């Protein structure tokens, strides 16, 4: 064995001459070997989605209606941008085409501009997508600036408009009797998603959200109250009649006194109360506390969700449900409590009106009583004539007999010769004069005063049998009896006020409670059939035309009916390398392994989350196909050329022996 030592003189061993071609070949081989490391690395990394490719997708309205894609129904279009990692920045802008909005889907009477909160001019609604070659992507839609920023911008002249989602027609007909006109008004909706190599963040804005509906259960207030009060006047008249409780309270005092004449007084009690007028000022129709306003005439309800959420709809936690059971109960319980309070106020007004009512009592009697007739012996002196002979002065002869006979005819006649006095007595019937009895009672006062035993005026003038009978009646006894009867008839558990309470409960309060909170009620619809979710953040794996880890930010998601509709308002998607979702305000410690204060908000993906529409994914992630093949072919060619020139150099310096 031989060992060859190479002197350290810096001189070549043997006859070595490196031509330029050989030197270039060696260098090229070296470059090829190094390149095989530096260029293959991104290809290997692309399998882990870290090579700088990016994707962005923005759509203002999406979702499904009765099984049909909303994009197809409305024909709104989308903004899509993708970058395979070698391209320059890719940007797509697609302004919202309002003319494509179907009237059955949404209604936007004021135009396409949405007013931002506390801002005079809002950005025109756009759909914006941007994909960069460093893995960063931006998707934004709604009231945004031309660069995708959520904020203000120049707008063309014209009125701002509100986006109104008509939800009523998406509900089953079985709820038409309890809820109608269900709509959701959204102002200045915008969403933005930002992606990088492995992280993503989302943000949204929502200036205002108003939920509106109508409920027959709380409509026709005046009619219901009028029905409840209609019976009051009739009840008052009945109480004051001769056979009414108030009239009887007077008779109870007078009848024992008038028993001596066998008659009763004519009693009238009049209560002057206008309970309808007393409550009219309460029946204003519109009520509310700022967050919830409603009209008890039309049944219309408006819920300001911003006020209800404490004055802020922005910066809510991801996936915040606005119509939680607690919120719905707060809305509807507030309405029913208002109705119940209103009913209490009506009852209070009715009671106050009755207590202040003027009461006039009159009791009258004018009676003549005949006395029994009697007999008296009446004696009187009368003159009785005395009959005797009266002599005429002549006589005739003829003896004694002849003289007697002749004297009769010639010398005497019969006549009154005198008078005598006699006393004559007889029984005569005696007629006594009728005896007059009168009653004149007058009492005037308010209900409250009479209950307290006082009266503005109280008089009782009674005369029986021409004043021959003493009554000893005190008018205060009449006032006291009347006051007791008033209190019982008006304010007891079965009095007039209690009857008003019962009618208000059955006609006003109970229907409101049942219609809003009972079975198959407004609560049933709002809790079980309608959902309004804000700041919807989702992370999922797409396995469709584009494969990768996606993140989406949706400003508002509305679902209605039993799966009948899902409407996404302002949805932005970025990817395909998302591993961690972070707060949009993070500037440090945003990586998956970084510590607090900025930790990722990783949300579990929905296995049933729909794939992005194919139209949005065409040509995405091309770097995993032809781009990789071209790169590998280039590397192989470089390696082959380097090997050839290296071998030629070796043969030149090591000739065969």
> What's the pLDDT tens digit per position in 479-497?
999 999 999 999 999 999 9
Residue 42 has pLDDT above 70, yes or no: no
Q: Is residue 146 part of a domain?
A: yes
Residue 201's DSSP bridge partners are: 194
Residues 200, 66 share a domain: yes
d(CA 308, CA 288): 12
| Within a domain: 422 | yes
Report the pLDDT value the prediction gives residue 145, as an integer from 0 to 100: 58
To which H or E segment does residue 60 belong? strand 54-65
pLDDT recorded at residue 469: 81
By C-alpha distance, which of 622, 604, 620 is closest to 612?
620
Residue 109 has pLDDT above 50, yes or no: no
Quickly state the pLDDT bin for 96 (edges 50, 70, 90): low
What is the number of structural domains in the chain? 2
Residue 600 carries which DSSP code? -
Residues 61 and 169 in one domain: yes
238 within some domain = no
Any bridge partners for residue 463, and if so which?
Answer: 438
**Is 401 in the same domain as 540?**
no
Residue 164 has pLDDT above 60, yes or no: yes
CA angle 44/47/51 to nearest 5° reads 75
Tell me which of 383, 399, 430 is where a domain ends: 430
Instruction: Specify the DSSP element, H or E, that contains 404.
Output: helix 399-410
Predicted TM-score of the model (pTM): 0.67
User: Does residue 302 lie within any of the structural domains?
Assistant: no
Report H helices in 241-370.
Answer: 245-258, 275-279, 305-308, 325-355
C-alpha distances (whole Å) from 112 to each of 79, 157, 164, 453 are: 17, 11, 12, 73
The pair of structure tokens assigned to 294 is 């409603």
Q: Please report the pLDDT score of residue 293 as a whole number.
A: 94
Cα maximum dimension of the chain: 256
Helix (H, G, I), strand (E, B) or coil at 175: helix
311-315, 394-398, 432-436, 442-446 — most confident range? 442-446
SS3 content of the chain, % helix, strand, coil (to 5): 35, 30, 35
Average confidence (pLDDT) over 497-522: 94
93: Cβ–Cβ under 8 A, 6 or more apart, which residues? 79, 126, 127, 128, 146
Q: What is the pLDDT of residue 228?
A: 94
Average pLDDT over residues 417-429: 85
Residue 70 pLDDT exceeds 80: no
Q: Is residue 275 part of a domain?
A: no
Percent of the chain at pLDDT > 70 equals 68
576 in Cβ contact with 549 (< 8 Å): yes
| 424 and 533, same domain (yes or no) | no
For CA atoms 464, 467, 469, 475, the dihedral sign is positive
Tell me if 518 is assigned to some domain: no
Residue 299's nearest CA partner among 128, 109, 511 is: 511
What band does 624 get if pLDDT is binned at 50, 70 and 90?
very low
**Alpha carbon distance 233, 235 (integer Å):** 5
Residue 141 in contact with residue 202, Cβ under 8 Å? no
Q: Which pLDDT tens digit goes with each residue over 246-303?
A: 999 999 999 999 988 888 899 999 999 999 999 999 998 889 888 999 999 999 999 9
Tell whether 66 is covered by a domain.
yes
- E strand or H helix at 166: strand 163-166
Judge whether 486 and 448 are in contact, CB under 8 Å. no
536 inside domain: yes
DSSP letter at 180 equals: E
Question: CA 43 to CA 407: how far, in whole Å?
Answer: 201
Q: Kindly state whether residues 422 and 545 are assigned to the same domain.
A: no
Average pLDDT over the chain reads 75
Task: Determine the angle formed by the axes of helices 245-258 and 475-491, rounding to 10 degrees.
Answer: 150
3-class secondary-structure state, position 155: coil
Three-class SS string for 45-109? HHCCCCCCCEEEEEEEEEEEECCEEHHHHHCCCCEEEEECCCCCCEEEECCCCHHHCCCCCEECC
Hey, is 88 helix, strand or coil?
coil
CA distance linking residue 253 with residue 479, whole number of Å: 10
Domain that holds residue 88: 54-206+529-620
């Amino acid at each position: 064995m031989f060992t060859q030592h190479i002197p350290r003189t810096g001189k070549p061993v043997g006859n070595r001459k490196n031509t330029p071609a050989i030197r270039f070949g060696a260098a090229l081989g070296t470059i090829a070997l190094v390149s095989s490391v530096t260029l293959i690395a991104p290809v290997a990394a692309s399998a882990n989605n870290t090579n700088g490719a990016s994707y962005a997708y923005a759509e203002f309205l999406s979702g499904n209606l009765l099984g049909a894609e909303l994009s197809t129904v409305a024909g709104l279009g989308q903004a899509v941008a993708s970058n395979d990692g070698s391209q320059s920045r890719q940007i797509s802008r697609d302004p919202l085409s309002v003319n494509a909005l179907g009237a059955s889907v949404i209604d936007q009477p004021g135009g396409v501009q949405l007013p931002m909160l506390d801002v005079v001019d809002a950005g025109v609604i756009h759909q914006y997508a941007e994909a960069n070659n460093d893995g960063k992507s931006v998707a934004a839609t709604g009231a945004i600036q031309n660069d995708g920023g959520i904020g203000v911008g120049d707008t063309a002249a014209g009125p701002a408009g509100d986006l109104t989602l008509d939800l009523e027609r998406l509900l089953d007909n079985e709820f038409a009797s309890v809820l109608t006109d269900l709509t959701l008004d959204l102002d200045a909706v915008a969403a933005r998603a930002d992606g990088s190599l492995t992280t993503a963040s989302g943000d949204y804005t929502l200036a205002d959200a108003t939920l509106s509906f109508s409920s027959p259960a709380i409509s026709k207030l005046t009619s219901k109250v009028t029905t409840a009060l209609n019976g009051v006047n009739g009840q008052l008249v009945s109480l004051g009649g001769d056979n009414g409780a108030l009239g009887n309270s007077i008779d109870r005092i007078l009848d024992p006194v008038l028993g001596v004449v066998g008659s009763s007084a004519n009693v009238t009690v009049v209560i002057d109360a206008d309970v309808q007028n007393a409550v009219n000022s309460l029946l204003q129709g519109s009520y509310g506390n700022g967050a919830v306003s409603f009209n008890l005439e039309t049944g219309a309800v408006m819920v300001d969700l911003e006020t209800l959420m404490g004055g802020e709809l922005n910066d809510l936690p991801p996936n915040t449900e606005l119509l939680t059971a607690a919120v719905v109960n707060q809305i509807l319980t507030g309405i029913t409590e208002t109705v119940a309070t209103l009913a209490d106020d009506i009852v209070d007004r009715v009671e106050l009106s009755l207590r202040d009512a003027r009461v006039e009592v009159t009791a009258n009697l004018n009676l003549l009583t005949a006395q029994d007739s009697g007999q008296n012996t009446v004696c009187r002196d009368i003159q009785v004539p005395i009959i005797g002979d009266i002599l005429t002065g002549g006589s005739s002869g003829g003896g004694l007999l002849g003289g007697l006979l002749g004297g009769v005819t010639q010398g005497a006649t019969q006549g009154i010769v005198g008078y005598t006095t006699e006393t004559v007595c007889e029984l005569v019937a005696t007629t006594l004069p009728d005896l007059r009895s009168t009653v004149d009672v007058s009492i005037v006062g308010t209900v409250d005063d009479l209950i307290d035993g006082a009266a503005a005026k109280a008089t009782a003038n009674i005369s029986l049998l021409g004043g021959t009978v003493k009554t000893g009646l005190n008018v205060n006894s009449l006032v006291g009896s009347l006051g007791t009867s008033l209190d019982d008839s008006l304010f007891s558990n079965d009095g007039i006020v209690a009857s008003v309470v019962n009618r208000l409960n059955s006609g006003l309060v109970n229907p409101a409670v049942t219609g809003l909170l009972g079975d198959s009620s407004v609560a049933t619809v709002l809790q079980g059939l309608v959902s309004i979710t804000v700041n919807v953040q989702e992370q999922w794996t797409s396995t469709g035309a584009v494969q990768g880890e996606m993140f989406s930010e949706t400003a508002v998601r509305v679902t209605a009916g039993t799966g009948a509709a899902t409407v996404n308002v302002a949805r932005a998607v970025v990817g395909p390398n998302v591993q961690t979702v972070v707060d949009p305000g993070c500037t440090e410690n945003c990586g998956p392994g970084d510590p607090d204060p900025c930790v990722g908000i990783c949300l579990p993906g929905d296995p049933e989350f729909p794939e992005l529409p194919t139209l949005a994914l065409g040509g995405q992630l091309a770097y995993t196909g032809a781009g990789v093949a071209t790169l590998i072919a280039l590397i192989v060619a470089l390696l082959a050329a380097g090997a050839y020139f290296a071998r030629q150099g070796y043969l030149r310096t090591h000739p065969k022996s």
